[in-house]
Structure 1
Amino acid sequence: MALIPGGLSPKDLGDLLRQARENAKITQAAAAAALDVARTTLVAMEQGQRRPRVDELQKLAILYGLSLNELLRQDSIRVDLRPRFRHTGEQSDKLQAAIELLNRLVQAEVELEDLLGIQRTRLDPPERPLLLGNVGLQAEQDAAELRQWLGLGLAPVHDIVSLLELQLGARVYIRKLDPKISGLYAFDERAGACVLLNADHPRDRRTQTGAHELGHFVSTRHAPDTLHDGTPQSTREERYANTFARCFLTPARAVHVKLQELTAGASKLTRRHIILLAHVFSVSREAMVRRLEELGLVKPGTWDWFVQHGGITDAQAQEVLGDLIPPDDAKVDARRQISMRMGVMASEAWRQALLSEGQIVRLLHIDRVDARTLIDEFEAEGAETDGSRSFSA
């Protein structure tokens, strides 16, 4: 199978091979002889007319005195999101740390995909720039349009992360951040949409943040966003993103239908109704009540009334929902030094001799002990699966 790094055309890869050969002061004839191919074949590789195989790339890397990783890691394929955040206003140390984290995660993932020949599938939604007029109305229309484009109809979005990752091909990371930082969003032509969510926040709050960042992806795609706790809706962009999130997660008609279904025969709205509604739409209890208020389905100030009378607690939700509350696997994964997916890719790259242990340390920003643990875990898993059937070609 040919190893063509994602984002590199055969022509670009050929240019890298030619540059590496020239830097090593090796002739085309000598390189062709090392591969046991005709010189014309090597010329075709360097011109992007013939795709090199993995074993050929490995032989060329050795011949040029490089690791395969060094051969393919060029400035032209690097991703750097940091400069895009310099105009976001507040630049606290904790925000800078979150920006650095997102940048490292994206960079490492892109490079691992390149090494393994993984072509990430992206499906960027139609871009809808902000227009003059009522930005809230535009957000509602755009949210409804995106739902139809994704084939969701009025169905609840139970997992915003899976929707972003699997359906749209966005890069979503859930890691521990400062409590006041809800999420970050950036877009890069090479890497696509990149989102970082706070693992310390409850799942329903992360859902709201993910939908908010999806709103930016749809409307202000190339402008980075940092969502802080209590961020005021001071700009049209923020008002759009907040309204988009509400309308995308809780479409008006779906809320009407489900409210009527759950309250059939009831004389008043109770905590149980709110808990069930919030669970159905995978949003917080407060977000659910605020949406009902916005749609005129309950009196204004209903949420404030609940707060003044003891609120709607997690214990009450547990009593109503019981085993319907799923475990939060994202919090478990966030306790790792790196994500599960990145760990698997790094281990596979090491198994194929595409990365050394030291290169894993530098790429993933972990120490040698963690790198060795990662490799040992992968080797143990490999030993357990020896003899099992491999994937069919």
Structure 2
Amino acid sequence: MDAGESMSGERLTDKEVGERLRLARENAKLTQVDAAAQIGVVRTTLVAIEQGKRRVQMDELQKLAIAYRTSANALLRREAVHLDMVPRFRKLQESSDDAVEAATRLLNDLVRAEVELENALGVVRTRNYPPERPILPGDIRAQAEQDAQELRDWLGLGPGPITDIVSILDLQLGVRVYVRPLNGKVSGLFAYDETAGACILLNANHPPERLLQSGVHETAHLISTRRQPEVLTDDERFTSREERYANAFQRSFITPARVVRQQFAEITAGQSHLTRRHIILLAHTSGVSREAMVRRLEELKLAREGTWDWFVANGGITDDQVRQVLGELPDKKVYTARAQGLVPPRLALLAREAWKKDIYSEGQLARLLQLNRHEVRELLEGAEKEESEANELVKLPH
């Protein structure tokens, strides 16, 4: 088979093959000199191959695939998509960080898998992104408040709490969002690719409140700086204007100022002091942590600056105190389990359809989506019954 021919028989151009080889080399962290040595040519020849000016030979392709820790099949498969998100993230980080590197590779792999499934099924993802709002000079907090409220209005969310940021991103906005276990220091990643669109990866190991905060924080980058990759880590200082905007947007979107003021007035009516009970009720109503709520009250001048620090210095606000006020609540892991389903709702439907049509086997889906066999079987559970129950009455019109 010619090195430019895809496994489906449809020929890739030399430029397409060269671009895929370049991205694979950069993902493998090899220089052009290193790659050229693998196939016994000079660097200028390798450059010509990557630019599509010189056709790669099959034996050269196989050697490069081994050096790049991939396969000739993966490089030539027409359905496959090759992204440059890993190199972009690497350039973003000033120093090497294994946790960030692993997370960016995972995001890259998951996006590539989803786009490959779409290509195999002939599906085009609809992007319903809100208008981009560049960060303007002046009061950055005021702009974030306004942009956050505009997005809530645009989504038709009303004044209620945000209970499922994953579904909002996935199904309403058309963002590719994944929730997978990551190193504890990494909260989330955001990237925008012209081919794949907006992509977000969140840490499944974090509690629901923090996962929500991270998801909205990354949404802020979709609003303001979508063509700039972003990594949110534990040691984030929010020193840049972009990060200060994202942090303010996060608070404003989850706890809108008007809603918090109204709830605060109702809950503290007739009271002379802000108590733990007030904080517990306000945090529960908004679906955020106690600390996040107090910090928001301080920001809105509804509580004095340093209020949270005072609570911490005086025993904090404990889970036992929460149970005394609210009683035994349903386990928050119910929501977390939904968010941590490893495969977001739309991607799950794509995987089930590809399996039902015999385009991918269980094993192929496991490798593609980086799941184990048990997780794939959970994902596909009931798909056979769905197919056997299908009839003309419930057939979708096309």
Q: Quote the Cα distance in structure 2 between the aligned partners of 1:249 and 1:201.
A: 17
CA distances 1:273-316 after superposition (whole Å, capped 9, x unpaired): 11121122222110100110111111111111111111112333
1:79 equivalent in alignment to 2:83: yes
**Does residue 164 of the first structure (1) align with residue 169 of the second (2)?**
yes
How far apart are the structure 2 equivalents of 1:334 and 1:127? 26
Contact 1:333–1:340 (8 Å) recurs in 2: no
Query: Cα 1:328–1:376, aligned 2, differ >3 Å: closer, same or farther?
Result: closer
Provide the C-alpha distance between the structure 2 equivalents of 1:224 and 1:377, rounded to a whole number of angstroms.
30
Identify the residue that residue 238 of structure 1 maps to in structure 2: 243
Measure, in 2, the Cα distance between the counterparts of 1:104 and 1:330. 25
| Residue 376 of structure 2, aligned match among 359, 363, 374 | 374
| C-alpha distance 272-335 of structure 1, shift in aligned 2 (>3 A) | same
1:19 aligns with 2:11: yes
Distance of 1:189 and 1:313 partners within structure 2: 46
Paired residue for 1:104, among 90, 100, 109? 109
CA distance in 1, matches of 2:379, 2:198: 31
CA separation in 2, counterparts of 1:373 and 1:145? 38
Count of matched residue positions in the alignment of Structure 1 and Structure 2:
327
CA contact under 8 A between 1:120 and 1:169: conserved in structure 2?
A: yes
Give CA-to-partner distance per residue, 1:101-152, whole Å, 9 cap, x none: 1111111111112222333222111111122222222222222222232233
TM-score, normalising length: structure 1:
0.73
User: Is the contact made by 1:318 and 1:325 (CA closer than 8 Å) also made in structure 2?
Assistant: no
- Aligned to 1:187, the other structure's residue is in SS state strand
C-alpha separation in 2, matches of 1:123 and 1:155: 22
1:133 paired with 2:135, answer no
Question: In the aligned structure 2, how far is the partner of 1:225 from the partner of 1:253?
Answer: 30
Q: CA deviation at 1:226?
A: 0.6
Matched, 1:267 2:272: yes
Unaligned runs of 5+ in 1: 1-15, 21-66
- Note if contact 2:216-2:253 (Cα within 8 Å) is conserved in structure 1: yes
Following TM superposition, by how much is the alpha carbon of 1:183 offset from its aligned partner in structure 2, in angstroms?
0.8
Match of residue 147 from structure 1 = 152
Choose which of 298, 306, 309 in structure 2 pairs with 1:304: 309
SS of 2:231 mapped into structure 1: strand
5+ long unaligned stretches in structure 2: 1-7, 13-72
CA distance in 2, matches of 1:18, 1:380: 34
Residue 188 of structure 2 aligns to a residue whose secondary structure is: strand
Confirm or deny that 1:221 pairs with 2:226: yes
C-alpha separation in 1, matches of 2:341 and 2:257: 39
Q: Alignment RMSD, CA only?
A: 3.1
Residue 259 of structure 2 corresponds to residue 254 of structure 1 = yes
1:313 corresponds to = 318
CA displacement 1:197-234 (0-9 Å, x = unmatched): 11111111111111111111111111111111131122
Q: Is the contact between residue 202 and residue 214 of structure 2 (CA under 8 Å) also seen in structure 1?
A: yes
Larger mean Cα displacement after TM superposition, 298-307 or 163-172? 163-172
Task: Deviation per CA, 1:51-108: give whole Å up to 9, x if none.
Answer: xxxxxxxxxxxxxxxx9x976425xx43342122121334311111111111111111
Residue 179 of structure 2 contacts residue 340 of structure 2 at CA under 8 Å; is this kept in 1?
Answer: no
> Distance between the aligned counterparts of 1:315 and 1:119, measured in 2?
49
State how far apart, in whole Å, the 1-side matches of 2:347 and 2:120 are: 12
- Sequence identity percentage: 51
TM-score relative to the length of structure 2: 0.73
Once the two structures are TM-superposed, the CA of residue 356 in structure 1 deviates from its matched residue by 4.3
Q: CA deviation at 1:156?
A: 3.0
CA distance in 2 between counterparts of 1:133 and 1:341 reads: 39
Using the alignment, how far apart are the partners of 2:318 and 2:378 within structure 1?
43
Where do residues 187-206 of structure 1 align in structure 2 (5 Å cutoff)? 187-206=192-211
Determine the structure 1 residue equivalent to 2:61: none
**Secondary structure, counterpart of 1:19 in structure 2:** coil
AA in 2 matched with 1:84:
R
The verdict on how the C-alpha distance between 1:225 and 1:296 changes in structure 2, with shifts beyond 3 A counting, is same
Structure 2 counterpart of 1:25: none
Which residue pairs with 1:50 in the alignment? none
Residues 122 and 391 of structure 1: CA distance in aligned 2, closer, same or farther (over 3 Å): same
Distance 2:339 2:262 in 1: 36
Structure 1 CA distance, aligned partners of 2:325 and 2:182? Answer: 31
Residue 179 of structure 2 is matched in structure 1 by 174
Deviation, 1:387, is: 3.8
Deviation at 1:362, TM superposition (A): 4.0
Note the C-alpha offset of 1:354.
Answer: 1.5
Judging changes above 3 Å, is the alpha-carbon distance between structure 1 residues 322 and 105 closer, same or farther for their aligned structure 2 residues?
farther
Map Cα deviations across residues 332-361 of structure 1 (whole Å, 9 max, x no partner).
Answer: 367777667645533431331212456435
